[in-house]
Chains A and B, each alone.
Chain A
Amino acid sequence: MTDPLSQVFAALADPTRRDMVARLADGDATLSELAESYDVSLQAVAKHLKVLEGAGLVSRTKQAQRRPVHLEAEVFDLMTRWIERYRRQAQERFTRLDAVLASMEAEASQAGTDQDDKEEAS
């Protein structure tokens, strides 16, 4: 699994990395600022960042002393768009289910009416 998509999935497969991405969605943060949030070593956070960088999800400016980590929103948006598409497809399916349920209801009330007619006739 070496293509960019797989790397994105693998990068986001870890709960800490998912959380780091969520945190960076609020704004850039330095390595030490990120590390404050997690009960793991600075080295472990740096390793997570490397994975996220490798997947193209985050970037770090080279020149500044602080080297803040920046979320590459475009890549992340891709994931969000997929989830939204999945949701939309589900919604379309449920709308078709609504129609089937409505037709079942109509058949049932039709059957009920037939039953009433029979009862009245008898």
Chain B
Amino acid sequence: MSTDRSTDRSTEQPNPGQAHLQPHEEWHPSPADHVSVAVVKADDRVPAVHIWRDVHATPQQVMRAHTDPELFARWIGPHDLTTEIDVWECRTLGSYRYVQRRGEESYAFRGTFPYVGDDRIVQTFCYEEWPQAIALETMTFTAMGDGRTRIHGVSLCDSFESRDAFLASGMETGVNEGYEKLDRLLSDGGTH
């Protein structure tokens, strides 16, 4: 596309507009980084959200905190909801369902575990009130060699719109206002 841009700029830095076109989906925290505060990144290529966080534990311990229903219910949160595990088969080809309550409100989540390995969990995630927006989540636990384990979570949605609604709603953490927002968003501008 030719414009009034002069041609003697070839030796200078590339067009600043081009810099935005450099794909940076390859970006991830380096092993040297101490990811003590969760890093969230929306993927540019596919409708996915990445999360990284380091914990002071072995991959085996992190795995157990994810696969043991009693331990899982203690941290999944949010803190103001109680988590009741209904079905829990956290193994390859297993499934799960849990319900979170706050007074009269309840939110149910379910899905399958297509694969549960030594350091990786692959699960489908579905909020029962909105089952058509299923997400595929992969959690990988990598030993950093100094007592830290890096957790890398990828939540893959079925469209960029779903992904952004997922981000905006805080759906994964079951925050009430998030669901209300999500309901409004998905009800063709209906009122709630």
Contact = CB atoms under 8 A, between A and B. Distances in A.
Interface string A73-107: 00000010011011101111110111111101100
B93 interface: no
A105 B53 CA distance: 19
Contact of A19 (B21, B42, B61, B64): B21
Contact of B15 (A10, A12, A36, A105): A36
Given A3-B184, A101-B62, A19 B20 contact: yes
Please classify the interface of chain B as helix (H, G, I), strand (E, B), loop, or mixed, using the class held by over half of its residues: mixed
Residue among A86, A87, A101 with max Cβ neighbours from chain B (10 Å):
A86
Please classify the interface of chain A as helix (H, G, I), strand (E, B), loop, or mixed, using the class held by over half of its residues: helix
Interface residues of A, number: 45
B65 interface: yes
Nearest to B168: A82
Interface string B60-87: 0110110000010011111100000000
Contacts of A12: 160, 164
B167 A83 contact: yes
Contacts of A6: 161, 185, 189
B18 interface: yes
B32 interface: no
A94 B150 CA distance: 12
A111 interface: no
Contacts of A92: 77-79, 173
Given A2-B188, A6-B185, A104-B57, A89 B17 contact: no
- 4 nearest A-B pairs in the assembled complex, by CB-CB distance: A37-B17, A13-B160, A3-B189, A82-B168
